[in-house]
Amino acid sequence: MIADDWRAARSSAPPGHLDAAGYNIPSDRVHHAVVDHLRREREVGGHRAAPDLHPSRSALAALVGAGAGDVAFLESGTAAMAALLGGWRLPPGSRVGVGRTEYGSTLMLLHRLARLSGWKLLELPVDDDSRLDLDGLTSLLSDGLDLVALPHISSHRGVVQPAAAAGRLCHAAGVPLVLDVCQSLGHVDVGGAGATAYVGTSRKWLAGPRGVGFLIVPGLAEHDQDMDAAAPALGGHTWVHGDPSPLAGAARYETFEGPIAARVGLGVAVREHHDLGPAAIHARLAELGVAARRLLDGIGGWRAAEPLDEPSALVTLRPPPGADPEAAVENARSRAAQASLLVGAVPVGRAPADLPTPVLRISPSPGTRRETLDALARVLDH
């Protein structure tokens, strides 16, 4: 049902698209909303065409139990993370817990901020699947942490981190949690995580247009004193007289200039997500991911890198033993492309602390048919 609805909303999606984690296919309505807005900007001028994004902000914020005023749009997940962490006031000597599955660009940012600001980065303990070890987190928290950053699902590994449990532990210890939901919002339930801030992106599981990232900081007003440094550089329209001072709420992080049409499109995508039913989408994606791992694990020597029953549709395969991993992944990706199957190749740099070799990534959208997975199995089977 969900699969049919998803496909029906897209008149021209490529049937072999298995790269939702890289770039999902926006629906026809999303596409038209973007094009219509671009047309309107041309007809009446960009500033006069400025849309009311309040309903879009509300719809997005509702996915994590926040409100419209808690949302800021930026141009990517990376930019949103930089705006958030770059503006976070942490004194020298602060201790920041970082997951080993952290995204490459966030890791670079954290290392840079640590060097500049005198923070100390501590690796969060994990098990053999790189899943956060909650006992380890508890003891790290009791040793003293000032901030925890965690990707809910990472780009290179389909493990769903125990975000809700981590959120509870951090909350109880009074330590802010920054949850990267670039791979999880629209994919698995994020609602119960109770994070201090969420960083996400439009084009992946939410199937919005490219060029939009966002951050959601529930009840930002309460944390104002910790997080007010970022805005003056960003919101050009906030400087009226005298000293620049940040806008209230998450708007302080938002860039005034940006691809407004794409923000409109994301709003449509998120409302479609609510209409289809987040729970049904999550269930469908989990079912597809488990089916794909069960089908593909072992084929041609490729092995699933996460537990077969992991409830996510982000499936990664390690190259056959003995093969040159880089060449094997690239070769498989290009053979898949020849069979009109679009899969991802994840380089080590995507998660340098966690990924020993490149992996092949298969990430079906809810509309994926079983035949598409079968076709990929045939490609990998030699």
Ligand X SMILES: *Cc1c(COP(=O)(O)O)cnc(C)c1O
Nearer to ligand X (CB atom), residue 27 or residue 202? 202
Residue from 161, 201, 365, 368 in contact with ligand X (CB under 6 A): 201
Shortest Å, Cβ 24 to ligand X: 12
Q: How far apart are CA 175 and CA 171, in angstroms?
A: 6
Task: Choose one: 72-80, 141-149, 275-283, 360-368; the region binding ligand X (CB under 6 A).
Answer: 72-80
Distances in Å between the Cα of 141 and the Cα atoms of 124, 138, 170, 173, 346 are 10, 5, 7, 7, 32
User: Which among 214, 215, 216, 211 has a CA at the least distance from the CA of 261?
Assistant: 211
Encoding tokens for residue 151?
């990707």
* Residue closest to ligand X (Cβ): 77
Buried b (16+ CB within 10 A) or exposed e, 338-356: eeebbbbbbbbebbeebbe
CB 224 within 8 A of CB 247: no
Specify burial of residue 138 (Cβ count, 10 A radius: 0-12, 13-18, 19+): middle
- Under rule CB under 6 A, how many of the chain's residues touch ligand X? 12
CA dihedral 294, 295, 300, 301 (to 10 degrees): 0
- HSE-up of 250 (CA within 13 Å, CB side)? 25
* Span 89-118, contacts to ligand X by CB under 6 A: 103
* C-beta closer to ligand X: residue 93 or 349: 349
Which member of 69, 97, 213, 358 binds ligand X (CB under 6 A)? 213
Give the x-and-dash track for 127-166 against ligand X (CB under 6 A). ------------------------x--xx-----------
Q: Does 363 bind ligand X (CB under 6 A)?
A: no
Closest distance to ligand X from the beta carbon of 47 (Å): 26
**Which of residues 234 and 380 has its CB atom nearest to ligand X in the complex?**
234
Which span sits near ligand X by CB under 6 A: 108-116, 179-187, 279-287, 307-315?
179-187
Point out which residues bind ligand X (CB under 6 A).
Answer: 76-78, 103, 151, 154-155, 180, 182-183, 201, 213
